[in-house]
Amino acid sequence: MAQILVVDDEVGIRELLSEILSDEGHQVLLAENAQAARTLRERGRPDLVLLDIWMPDTDGISLLKEWATSGQLTMPVVMMSGHGTIETAVEATRIGALDYLEKPIALQRLLSTVKRALRNQEIAGPQPLTLATLGRSAALADLKKRLAQLASVGTPLLLRGERGMQAELFARFLLAAGAPFIAGAELLAEPPSEVLARAAGGILFLPDLSQLARVEQKNLEFLLARCDRHRARVVTYSPVEPRLLIERHEYDPELAARLSELTLALPALREFAEDIPDIAALMLGQLVEARACLPRRFSTAALNALRQHAWPGNLSELEAVVRSLALTSLEEEIQLTDFERVISAHSAPQASGELPLDRPYREARETFEKLYFEFQLAREQGSMSRVAERTGLERTHLYRKLKALGISPGGKKEEG
């Protein structure tokens, strides 16, 4: 027996759906408006929500966005309307709705949709961050328009931006409803025919071109040449410009040119700071909904501090800070003092020690180099690719330099 929440301002519709679903053995909760639905959702997670679009206080699309933004869209939602449009249905699906029922609802259509939705809820979990509910800032609103404009273009797209931008978030915005999204550099090690078959009609996404080895670049070139016949689009991300992919990462110039034929710059997180409170609240809501932490919420002062921080590590840094706040704050409401405590711990370590200016030049130089490379390794969390990029050294030269200085990279994984 499933618990189903029916949200509709028409009493006749509520009673009819309640009777039908109760006869099928389900427990039915009824809400006459969005506020009543909010209250019931706060008390617990239903297995399914049937949500009317047109309601007098708050419409169903707005309520769906609220649940998505707060991390509460962890159950399947089926929208209902007697005078909806295709555009409305597409918007609801993009936000996170599972399906759309047109009134008057046919009995068999209702029952089959409910049955399918309840199968989905068995694997439902906290929803990933999505651009659909964001866009307060001009920078992000403009980017969403450009992404929407490029969504129907089949040309390979290169997303460019700073590290930590979690570019998959932006690549997914290009995806048509129901289309496959295949991501990760590991797909380049799979048989190309299988990868293309899985990605047919959708997107192949590679999160960091600067991390691909030579053999992976060759496999990408092979996939790229065969994507059109499978209607699969290649979308990639690179924190370095195409010229550096060629000079430092051994890319074939023709491959780099093909990948960067259509390029879109992603604004850094600090450029859409107005959206940071919404993003942080969603990240926190995901943790709460997944029961990774006790119920938490941000105080206004903490949200303002999050918005005003520079975030050099972009979305990845914000996510790490939110997680630390969720797990280490002592009260249900996260305060400004909590943010100050956590952000200081996440700040990049500073090189310590004084340079021995009274020593011979060679000794002073070696001391400086040791401090310099230890600082770079700490800041980049042991990623040799990023240290090489930041210092302007070839990786082979960098390894030799660290060995000469007696510094161990620590064997940490290479991350973008």
Amino acid 412: pLDDT? 42
Instruction: Give me the mean pLDDT over the 190-215 stretch.
Output: 93
For residues 256 and 412, the model is more confident at 256
Q: List CB contacts of 14: < 8 A, sequence separation 6 or more.
A: 6, 8, 30, 32
- CA geometry: angle at 384 spanning 381 and 389, to 5°? 105
Please give the model's pTM, rounded to 2 decimal places. Answer: 0.63
What's the pLDDT score for residue 68?
82
pLDDT of residue 232: 94
Helices (H), 158-229: 168-172, 192-199, 214-226
Helix (H, G, I), strand (E, B) or coil at 180: coil
DSSP classification of residue 24: T
| Number of neighbouring beta carbons within 10 Å of residue 266 | 23
Over 80: is that where the pLDDT of 378 sits? no
> What pLDDT does 351 receive?
47
**Angle CA(76)–CA(143)–CA(275) in degrees, nearest 5?**
65
- Mean pLDDT score, 295-300: 91
What is the torsion angle, in degrees rounded to the nearest 10, for the CA atoms of residue 190, residue 193, residue 194 and residue 196?
Answer: 100
Helix (H) or strand (E) holding 246: helix 242-249
Question: pLDDT of 310-367, one tens digit each?
Answer: 998 999 999 999 999 999 999 989 999 999 999 988 765 544 455 666 667 776 787 7
What pLDDT, on a 0 to 100 scale, did the predictor assign at position 395?
A: 81
Q: What is the pLDDT of residue 84?
A: 66
Q: Could you tell me which residue, 286 or 362, shows the higher pLDDT?
A: 286
Residue 354's pLDDT is 57
8 SS3 class: coil
Question: Which residue has better confidence, 367 or 27?
Answer: 27
The contacts found for 149-155 with CB under 8 angstroms, 24 or more apart, are 150/174, 150/262, 150/264, 151/175, 151/176, 153/262, 154/228, 154/231, 154/233, 155/233, 155/261, 155/262
What is the chain's mean pLDDT, rounded?
Answer: 88
Backbone angles phi, psi at 106, to 5 degrees: -70, 140
Q: Taking 90 as the threshold, does the pLDDT of residue 183 lie above it? A: yes
| pLDDT confidence of residue 356 | 63
Bridge partners of residue 3, in order along the sequence: 27
Q: How confident is the model at residue 125 (pLDDT cuts 50, 70, 90)?
A: low
- Domains along the sequence of the chain with CATH: 3-121 (3.40.50.2300), 138-265 (3.40.50.300), 270-346 (1.10.8.60), 351-416 (1.10.10.60)
pLDDT at res. 206: 96
> 394 is written with which tokens?
């070839």
- Would you state the structure tokens that stand for residue 126, as one six-digit string? 């906290």
pLDDT at 178: 84
pLDDT reading at 373 higher than 90 = no
User: What pLDDT, on the 0 to 100 scale, is given for residue 359?
Assistant: 67
